Structure 1
Amino acid sequence: MALSCVYLAADVYMVCLQHALSTEKEEVMGLLLGEIDSKKVAHISAVVMLRRSDKRKDRVEISPEQLTNAAIQADKLTHELGQPMRVLGWYHSHPHITVWPSHVDVRTQAMYQMMDECFVGIIFSVFTEDKATKVSFNCSYY
């Protein structure tokens, strides 16, 4: 069964946004950690910022080693916090481009959702400005 709702902790949001704003020259990415409750609500409460393995400025790729290390980090947090934690999803930035996912983003998300239908993806569109609203930051999830 798919998720009914996603809660992103304010401090996680701020970390992701600051990471996205750290460079306008290339995309950045990270993994989202948290838990899913019995009502299929995702509670994202931690983040792991990742290094880029693909050097093309408009691509981000999560290596198997990074995913494994994030799972280990989630396990450590489970023991430290006394609550279940796991990798729930990923985020990345779109500097100077639309908030909407590219065909590569859609394919990547579909791959993760084949392993876990509740895997969340968030895009932070930064360094853009909507001429009508003057909003200079957008965020979407899929």
Structure 2
Amino acid sequence: MEVMGLMLGEFVDEYTVRVVDVFAMPQSGTGVSVEAVDHVFQTNMLDMLKQTGRPEMVLGWYHSHPGFGCWLSGVDINTQ
């Protein structure tokens, strides 16, 4: 099954981001797709970051393609 989550960090300049942490999010899907994301969990994690004084911001999301190596699917390309 695919894994997905959010990347946390900072924008360094116009062309550079620094990812300093990630957190996986519960979701359902298959080996090649992510079908549902728990928005309540995501909101709770972001609230916890604020409450603990973490300075990072959400830079984007990541997900895996288990067993397929590193590649972008058609859906990946369209959502970027």
Same fold (TM over 0.5): yes
CA–CA distance in structure 2, aligned partners of residues 62 and 35 of structure 1: 27
Q: How far off is 1:108 after superposition?
A: 2.6
Larger Rg: 1
For 1:69, the equivalent position in structure 2 comes to 44
In the other structure, the counterpart of 2:76 is 105
- Cross-structure match for 1:48: 23
The unaligned stretches of length 5 or more in structure 1 are 1-25, 110-142
Alignment deviations for residues 67-102 of structure 1 (CA, whole Å, 9 cap, x no partner): 43343244235x15xxx3111011111122141100
Show structure 1 runs of 4+ deviating over 6 A. Answer: none
- Indicate the percent of aligned positions where both proteins have the same amino acid: 38
The TM-score normalised by the length of structure 2 is 0.71
Length-normalised TM-score, structure 1: 0.45
- Which of 71, 82, 89 is the equivalent residue of 2:60? 89
Instruction: Please report the RMSD computed on the Cα atoms of aligned residues, expressed in angstroms.
Output: 2.4
**Residue segments in structure 2 that go unaligned for 5+ positions in a row:** none
Q: Which has a greater percent of strand?
A: 2
CA distance in 2, matches of 1:93, 1:107: 16
Q: CA deviation at 1:44?
A: 1.1
| Greater relative contact order (Cα < 8 A, sep 6+) | 2
